[in-house]
Structure 1
Amino acid sequence: MQVTPLACYILLVCLCMDSCRNEAGALPRTRSRRMQRRGLGRGSSAGHRLRRQPRMELLDPAVPGIPLINIDDSVMGVFDSLIGLGEHESSYSVLPGKKGQCSANGMVMYDKAVWSPKPCITCLCSRGEVICDTTLCHPLNCPHTITPAGECCPVCSDTGSSLDSSIISLDDISELSGDSPEPTDLDNTNALPSARPQPGKDELLGIEVIEIKEDHKKDEKKRKRKGRRNRQKHKGHRRGKRPDTKNRPAGELQYESDEDDGPFRIPSNFPIPIPPMEAPPLPSGCSTSDTTVSCINAKLTQIPPISDPDLTSLDLTGNSITTISDEAFNGIPNLEWIDLSKNNITSPGIGPKAFKILKKLKRLYLDGNMLVHIPSELPSTLEEIKINDNHLHTIDEDGLKDLKNLVTLELEGNQLSEANVSPLAFNPLKSLCYLRLGRNKFRIIPQGLPATLEELYLENNQIEEVSEICFNHTRNINVIGLKHNKLEEHRIAPLAWINQENLESIDLSYNKLYHVPSYLPKSLLHLVLIGNQIERIPGYVFGHMKPGLEYLYLSFNKLTDDGIDPVSFFGAYHTLRELFLDHNELKSVPFGIDEMRKLRFLRLNNNKIRTVPPERICRTRISHDDHDTSEEEEDSEDSRLEHVHLENNYINTRKLSPHSFSCIRSYCSVVLKPQKTK
């Protein structure tokens, strides 16, 4: 009987101990269920929706959290994972009975306050109890993973080294943790924001953190700024302040949740690039090929906006463009060739710096516009400029400045004359070789021509005189074109060009010449005198030339048999290759042609010739053998003649001697039909 009371006492003590154990274990399970009902046990994804994640314990440091956009002067925070709230309780001392406040590192935390004492760990003050949890990470399907510096979750090793600079999709971002001050920041903070639950439609997105009230002390703002600077040092944490929508960095974009939980920002260490601005498409009628854009006759009224640094050629011929702005070529700075011919561009419509950006421009064509002066600020790289058929009426001494590389300049069809072109206008052109000033109003050769000039064309002007000083400084000139002017032979000074050593071609067609001019350049090879009123070729007029004249064109003149002397071609017998005497008044083949051993092309058509003696074109040599006193041998030396034109004369082809063309290898080269009749 004495054993029974003792056994009852022992049994009672055991029951009390079991009861205490059950109560102690019930608290974590109750807390875990409470947190699950609030939705805090769900991890947040990087997309617009939240996903339920599998439970994981003590993983690597987390990706920084994403602060929500403020609503009604409060701040909302998203915390990655609080699934294990009942599993990992803090050892912080709890202060029950003081409105649910907690104590952490000597600091008082309000009820619902959230902070991060260590990287990748988030704590919550709930009714006087401190509950902490670590961040959950998305499982990876790759053989090798690494955890980048300052990050909480591992990544695949092939992309982990470039997380900060590479672009990842939203679905690849697993969990984003909340942001709170470091433990060192807690010492500098006296007042922490409180939070209240923010329920969603189906799931609870996060915890709303109320902003600090305006009536706090002024020094709290200073401490807050200091804490913000400290947080910036840690790349693994995002700022918890209200995002500034006005001064948002380019790497931060804003989205809205499908669950109507408010917008959020992507962290800056996962930049979402802004897509490049695409250039507007080319207008209809334009085409592109390699490095060229062609908009010929495309009905454009302005230069199309093109952005292509690789473009080198732009053809805008035949449109209705009137202006060229300073920014017209900003998107195509590497152009080398521009053709703006046949538009309606005016001088006031061209910006002063329209072409300045084109540092590689070599060719500029502005033919057929309405320009009154040469555009300013042209690139010094230009090698060719064409401004034909405009309304240019002046070129001052600065009109062509800085164009030291210009080789070709064409200004035909304008209103230029010696009165409005400065003698210093061509001074800057240190490389000019080719100059066209035709169809203007010059009466004399322009002064101040560049010393480098090789070809000069002044056709269709009103030039009446060639003075002795015209070409004093152009020692390299090779070609001079003066057709369709008003020149007479006595208005050409004897020393105008006779001493030129490189002048090989002169075109004096359609002037008022009555004789072949004397004192022609010694180096002359090519002389064109078509369409004058020439009646005579003076004797020895070509005798001073070295090496000798090769091409002589005297078509459409008034030459007669008396106007050609036996020595008229002296000096050209051994050099002349082409001789044009067609459309004159010759009645016979001129003397001396049979002496021209290099002659290949002879035109005598459209004259009044009636017969062709054997010796006039093909020379016949008769030699005597000293041993045979009575035998004569007819030796006909071959000629180089390839074409002979004698049509439209009065030749009776049936009466022609068989030896008239014996030196010509092929009779097909002799044109005799048709002939005129009385």
Structure 2
Amino acid sequence: MAPIYLTFIASLLLASSTFCEQLCLEGCKCEDHPSEKLGPHLMIDCSNLGSSSVPRDLNKFQNYGRPMHLKLSKNIIARVSKADFPENLPIIALDFNQNRGVMITDDAFMNIKGLRYLGLNDISMPFTDTMKYLKGMTKLRYLYLNKNYQFGEGLVPVSLFSGLELKLKDLSLHDCYLKGIENGALANVVITGSLDIGANQLDHIPEEVKTLKNLTKLDVSQNSIKSIPSNTFEGMSKLRTLSLSNNYINGQSFKTDSFNGLKLKELRLEKSELNTIPSAALSSLSSLKILKLNNSPIKTIPKHSFNGSYCLEVLDLTNVLVEIENTHLDGLESCLQKLYLNNMQIREIPKFFKDFKVLNYVSLSGNSISEIKMDDLVGTTITELDLTENPLHRIEKGSFEEFPHAISLIISDTRLSNLSFVRDYEYGTIKTIKLGNVLPMCDCELAFAEYRVLEIHGNCNFNNTKNVAISTDEFMSVTSHCWPDGKMPQKKDVWAVVGDNSAGTFSTSILSYFCVFLFFKVLNIV
């Protein structure tokens, strides 16, 4: 009975796919599309067809039972009006991106009041006139106006959203040559999620931003901001993520109360002109968990630099100009979980990793580490270590012994020629290995190593004739001669007992089949 039912389901899926193709608009592509923002829906992609108008046969989708996303980007549509959209179309998302010069009439969207997402990027839209076509669009949540260059004064005027009473989740004005936002310009807009005004020509944080009391994320990266005055974000108590990256911010840019009133969880200051840690300004951010300072010319990290009222979980110091020492990270021993120390000329695994109680991920890519010594990692809590682009050629025997947890290794672009080191350890000591551009031979040494880990991500060289993906049926086939009976023994189910409760079996595919079996069992089909 089960095979018949599975065949029936496969037939239904095939019929559904065929139905979508038959229903689709001429020249367009239709497919089911999952979306975190919009949920599952039918994507109708009519982009880049050279169309001069909205498709005329949309009426076939009237009263269609599923939400739809209509993409009309990269065409030459000159005019959009109410007549283009018949009534009862379930369109929830609409893209007119890169239809430069398109004119949208005031009543254009009257028949698609369920619209939740509107993309008007790069349509040569001046911000001088009110967007009257958004009047009454009470369900609109995502509005994207990127790359509409505002030459001249470069302002977001009061008139743009006047009288619209928009209640958005995200508003994006990225890369519009903006120099400012007029006071009152956002008075008719409520934003409960993100405002992106990055990649503009702002030399200060616009005062009007303070009116967005419900904003949770603000991106002002890639501007020309040089200072963050006192109380810049006063009243924005719901803001959780702030990106000030890629601005002209240095150690003198902050006041001690620059972040007064904020409850930030994430602060991004990468690609700035900071030469030290702005400890005084950060000290009041008691909720701060993620701090990104990478690619900044930081030359000094004074002791207790991170000893504020916060306790960081993620810290990125990639490509800073200081030799990292244990005293630099004082105060973070009990909370730091992820640490990025890439491209810092580090020659050996830092000893201070042992001081951290919950540090599970460390990235040391692009450094000068040539070997992992026996005592480098013992006593740490690290479960994933990235050593990409290091001259790593040796892993000393015993380096992973007595680990209370499984560890995953990323060794792409290193000098390791084989994985024989894996055989020194019990099942479950090393969970996964990501090889990237490391290409070992498809030999028995590799087969025995693969048997001792959950999965190896990467390829091996088979007889200099082709590359074979490791941890696949093909790999097992080309290495079958390595085993007495011509078949690799079943891997032991050890992953749940070495600290990773998310993996209870050696094969996710088998787990999937088991779940399907249970599903049919509930339906009394098998």
TM-score, length-scaled by structure 1: 0.46
> Which residue of structure 2 lines up, in the alignment, with residue 130 of structure 1?
none
The answer to whether structure 1 residue 410 and structure 2 residue 144 are counterparts is yes
> Quick check: 1:357 aligned with 2:90?
no
> C-alpha deviations, 1:394-429, integer Å up to 9, x for none?
352253322232111011122247756431432414
- 2:341: which partner in 1? 604
- C-alpha separation between the residues in 2 aligned to 1:329 and 1:673? 52
- Indicate if the aligned counterparts of 2:290 and 2:314 stay in contact, CA closer than 8 A: yes
1:642 alignment counterpart: 360
DSSP 3-state at the match of 1:618: helix
Q: How big is the shift at 1:330?
A: 4.7
SS of the residue 1:644 aligns to: strand
Query: Does residue 220 of structure 2 align to residue 482 of structure 1?
Result: yes
Matched, 1:537 2:273: no
Deviates more, 1:405-414 or 1:333-342: 333-342
1:313, distance to aligned residue in structure 2 (A): 6.2
Normalised by the length of structure 2, the TM-score is 0.58
Taking the aligned partners of 1:338 and 1:617, their CA distance within structure 2 comes to: 48
Q: Which amino acid aligns with 1:471?
A: V
**Aligned partners of 2:211 and 2:305: how far apart in 1?**
32
Rounded Cα–Cα distance in structure 2 between residues aligned with 1:661 and 1:313: 49
Partners of 1:640 and 1:312 lie apart in 2 by: 43
Question: Which of 547, 551, 555 in structure 1 is aligned with 2:290?
Answer: 551
Code of the aligned partner of 2:219? G
- Relative to structure 2, which stretch is displaced further, 504-513 or 410-419? 410-419
The 1-side partners of 2:266 and 2:369 are apart by 31
- 1:583 paired with 2:319, answer yes
Query: What residue number does 2:211 align with?
Result: 473
The Cα of 1:381 is off from its aligned counterpart by: 2.8
1:451 aligns with 190
State the secondary structure of the residue aligned to 2:267.
strand
* Aligned-residue RMSD, C-alpha: 3.5
SS in 1 for 2:327: coil
1:559 Cα deviation (Å)?
Answer: 0.7
**Paired residue for 1:511, among 247, 253, 260?**
247
| AA partner of residue 129 (structure 2) | D
1:665 has 2:381 as partner: yes
> Deviations 1:234-281 (Å, cap 9, x if unpaired)?
xxxxxxxxxxxxxxxxxxxxxxxxxxxxxxxxxxxxxxxxxxxxxxxx
**One-letter code aligned to 1:344:** N
- 1:116 equivalent in structure 2: none
- Once the two structures are TM-superposed, the CA of residue 617 in structure 1 deviates from its matched residue by 3.7
Q: Taking CA–CA contacts closer than 8 Å with sequence separation of 6 or more, which of the two structures ends up with the larger relative contact order?
A: 1
Task: Return closer, same or farther for 1:409/1:670 CA change in 2, 3 Å cut-off.
Answer: closer
Alignment of 1:336-375 (within 5 A): 336-347=67-78, 349-351=79-81, 353-355=83-85, 357-358=87-88, 360-375=90-105
Deviation at 1:481, TM superposition (A): 1.3
| Structure ID, larger Rg | 1
Shift of 1:290: 8.5
Please list the CA deviations of residues 97-119 of structure 1 after superposition, one character each: whole Å capped at 9, or x if unmatched. xxxxxxxxxxxxxxxxxxxxxxx
CA distance in 1, matches of 2:116, 2:138: 9
| Matches for 1:617-636 after TM superposition, within 5 Å | 617-619=353-355
Question: In 1, distance between residues paired with 2:388 and 2:119?
Answer: 45
Where 1:669 maps in the other structure, the secondary structure is: strand
2:339 alignment partner, SS class: strand
Distance in 2 of aligned mates of 1:394 and 1:358: 31
Match of 1:571 among 305, 308, 331: 308
Q: What is the CA distance between 1:443 and its match in structure 2? A: 1.1
Matching residue of 1:392: 125
Distance 1:532 1:312, change over 3 A: closer
Kept in 1, the 8 Å contact 2:368–2:390? The answer is no
1:292 and 1:312 in contact (8 A); partners too: no
Aligned length: 349
Q: Distance in 2 between matches of 1:421 and 1:588?
A: 44
1:381, 1:405 within 8 Å by CA — same for their partners in 2?
yes
Q: Is the 8 A contact 1:312 1:334 kept in 2?
A: no
Q: Distance in 2 between matches of 1:383 and 1:667?
A: 41
- 1:284-363 equivalence runs, <5 A: 288-289=19-20, 293=24, 295=26, 314-324=44-54, 329-330=58-59, 332-334=61-63, 336-347=67-78, 349-351=79-81, 353-355=83-85, 357-358=87-88, 360-363=90-93
Counterpart of 1:365 in structure 2: which amino acid? D
Deviation at 1:502, TM superposition (A): 0.7
Aligned residue for 2:94, secondary structure, equals strand
Unaligned runs of 5+ in 2: 1-16, 30-40, 393-526
User: Offset at 1:475?
Assistant: 0.7
Change (3 A) 1:531 1:600: same
Instruction: State how far apart, in whole Å, the 2-side matches of 1:359 and 1:316 are.
Output: 16
Q: Distance in 2 between matches of 1:534 and 1:603?
A: 18
Tell which deviates more after alignment, 289-298 or 377-386. Answer: 289-298
Q: What code does the residue aligned with 1:353 have?
A: A
Could you tell me the percent identity over the aligned residues? 19
**Maintained 8 Å contact 2:25/2:57:** no
Given that residues 451 and 473 in structure 1 are in contact (C-alpha distance below 8 angstroms), is that contact kept between their aligned partners in structure 2? no
User: Partners in 2 of 1:375 and 1:591 — Cα distance?
Assistant: 63
Instruction: Measure, in 2, the Cα distance between the counterparts of 1:294 and 1:600.
Output: 50
Q: Equivalences for 1:85-164 in 2 at 5 Å? A: none
Conserved in 2, the CA contact under 8 Å of 1:295 and 1:317? no
Within 5 Å, give how 1:24-35 maps onto structure 2.
none
Preserved CA contact (<8 Å) 1:526 1:551: yes
Greater fraction helix: 2
